[in-house]
Amino acid sequence: GKDRTYADIAVPLLGKIQNLLSEFPILFAFEQGKILEKIGICSQINFVRYMQGVRTLGADQKLFIKDLCFGKVPVRIYQPKAPSSSQRRGVMFFHGGGWTLGSVGKITNTHENLCRSLARESDSVVVSVGYRLAPEHKYPAAYEDCLNATIHFMRNTEHYGVDPARISVCGDSAGGNLAAAVSQTLAGRSDLPKLRAQILIYPHLQALDFNLPSYQQNQGVPLLFRERAAFFALQYLNGDTSHMEEVLEGSHIPIDIKLNYKKWVSPDNIPEKFKARGYKPYVLLDCPTVVYETMKRFCEPNLSPLLAEDAVIQQLPESFILTCEFDVLRDDGLLYKKRLEDNGVRVTWYHLEDGFHGIMNFSNSDWMSFSSGERGLNNIVNFLKSL
């Protein structure tokens, strides 16, 4: 096919920049993929997936790492080698990548580093889930895979030396969306152990409003541009980006529905200090019926966890939320923090004043790292150790 032809021709030429691109897959490979798609060589998403898999890490002296399947869902398990006198914590990890990128078979070097660090530093068993990717597998495929893998793990903890009362879900970006959705679903299950915590790293939690202050302030800030955030959400929803303009301007959801959710999704719920870098209120636009028919599932909590009812939010476990100042998704995290706290859920919030979207992917990188990312990782590890 076209992808194979491109790989056969271009691999020798790309060798010198593979290391760079594997560390910055979104910044560089996405733009190159757009060009290649336009000239008909390969799809943009397939090119980024290819470039994300160009490097792999070797064995880890402190961890057993094994690829398995939980039912039909591929997973990678990271278990500390050191013997333990008691059962360990378990962490279900859902990787980011806009629901379209990453896997455990060819997982990005950055998420591999993060999973290894979490397992090593917190002395936990980490299970990274290789959920099905959009647009080939649309919503709710990724959510269902993450939910089913988590339930499987909960019912088989004895095989991994894990305490069933100390299982947490964790995810970054789109993975944070999946962790929040899985946590909400499991909150109402009486036949399973209760989750000990949810750890949401700059999560994507709603698709109603792409004009919140953080979207306006950071619309052109790497690694996640405003337009790209909408693109990924549409890829996950139905694989159709033809209504991108309506999504960005806010005319993809009827005014009455937006007003109904304004109590939860509104700039009014964002602390004023986060508007200091600039915010311009916008006029609500109505939505053509034909557009809403293709967008209405954006209002489902399994896709937009920020829209869950209070009765669900009240049952959620202790939570850790990490946000970054220079991130379009900052306000999603702030709004969810408020919802959790308003409903009596204990929240540990850590805000990286000098952080940007994707910064955690550079933790323990052998090529480039940021001190704020290391601080973020340390805070997550300390939170896990407290559970």
**Per residue in 126-173, pLDDT tens?**
999 999 999 999 999 999 999 999 999 999 999 999 999 999 999 999
Q: Which residues contact 162 (CB under 8 A, 6 or more apart)?
A: 87, 88, 89, 90, 125, 153
Which residue in 145, 172, 209, 327 is the catalytic one? Answer: 327
Q: How many secondary structure helices (H) and strands (E) does the chain include?
A: 15, 8
By CB neighbour count within 10 A (0-12 exposed, 13-18 middle, 19+ buried), where does 208 fall? buried
At which residue do the structure tokens 């966890």 appear?
305
Which residue in 173, 183, 304, 372 is the catalytic one? Answer: 173
- Nearest CA-CA partner of 129 in 72, 201, 189: 72
Say which residue, 51 or 296, is predicted with more confidence: 296
What pLDDT score does 182 carry? 98
The angle, 0 to 180 degrees and rounded to 10, between the axes of the packed helices 44-52 and 2-14 is 50
128 given a catalytic annotation: no
Give yes or no for residue 11 having a pLDDT over 90.
no
Give yes or no for residue 14 having a pLDDT over 50.
no
10 confidence band (pLDDT: 50, 70, 90)? very low
194 confidence band (pLDDT: 50, 70, 90)? very high
209 given a catalytic annotation: no
Per residue in 260-299, pLDDT (tens digit) is 999 999 999 999 999 999 999 989 999 999 999 999 999 9
183 given a catalytic annotation: no
- Nearest CA-CA partner of 114 in 369, 337, 327, 328: 369
Give yes or no for residue 24 having a pLDDT over 60.
no
Between CA 230 and CA 243 the distance in angstroms is 10
By CB neighbour count within 10 A (0-12 exposed, 13-18 middle, 19+ buried), where does 185 fall? buried
Between CA 207 and CA 288 the distance in angstroms is 17
By CB neighbour count within 10 A (0-12 exposed, 13-18 middle, 19+ buried), where does 190 fall? exposed
Per residue in 332-366, pLDDT (tens digit) is 999 999 999 999 999 999 999 999 999 998 776 65
Quick check: pTM over 0.75?
yes
> Which stretches within 24-133 are classed as H helix?
30-38, 44-52, 109-122
